[in-house]
Amino acid sequence: MKIDSATFIISNTDVSRCPKERVPEYAFIGRSNVGKSSLINMLTNHKKLAKTSGKPGKTQLINHFKINDNWFLVDLPGYGYASVSKTKRKDFQRFIKDYFLQREQLVNTFVLVDSRHAPQKIDLEFMEFLGENGVPFSIIFTKADKLGSSTLNKNITKYKKELLKTWESVPMNFTTSSESGMGKDEVLNFIHQTNELVADNFK
């Protein structure tokens, strides 16, 4: 799939104000500083669609982007950023939870994981939350260009082993680099195929 258009639609913290349009929706979420904005910009061929920042915690709203006029890409706040106030953290948790539990148009969540690090408790717990609530998700391992191929494969294998301690099988996963474009075609083809599979649900 090729992305020809990507248009910002709305930002908010209230799931009831999200677009009412019945089209498939794909959410992107991960720990702060996981490279989410850079990945979104790489996938959409837009350098500044999602705001990138050296400062973690930049995204603080539910951001909807209309892609090719037939599906939504949703940029969600990163979780686990300790420097925001406790009140803000609670607000994030509330509206993120509401989004996942109430958003009927959501067909898949991409959980972003930094390929350079060992499995993090906060990521595993978030995936558990999605699984317990029947929210479909895939994993995107980011920043693959920061590692040699041997270390990268070793880290991802370790992560998969950790997942198999609690999951019957490893969820669909992708390895990406926003710098080199690695994984771009695989992620976009997955979205295209999923759109075709769920098309009847959105008629």
In a domain, 186, yes or no: yes
- Per-residue pLDDT reduced to its tens digit, 68-111: 999 999 999 877 654 445 555 555 578 888 999 999 999 999 99
In a domain, 134, yes or no: yes
In a domain, 125, yes or no: yes
Q: In the prediction, which pLDDT does 78 show? A: 79
CATH number at residue 117: 3.40.50.300
In a domain, 44, yes or no: yes
- Per-residue pLDDT reduced to its tens digit, 175-201: 999 999 999 999 999 999 999 999 999
Q: Which residue has the higher pLDDT, 59 or 122?
A: 122
In a domain, 1, yes or no: no
Q: In the prediction, which pLDDT does 168 show? A: 94
Tell me the pTM: 0.91
- Per-residue pLDDT reduced to its tens digit, 128-162: 999 999 999 999 999 999 999 999 999 999 999 99
Domains of the chain: total: 1
Range of the domain at 108: 6-202
Q: What are the tokens at 192?
A: 């295209």
In a domain, 121, yes or no: yes
In a domain, 68, yes or no: yes
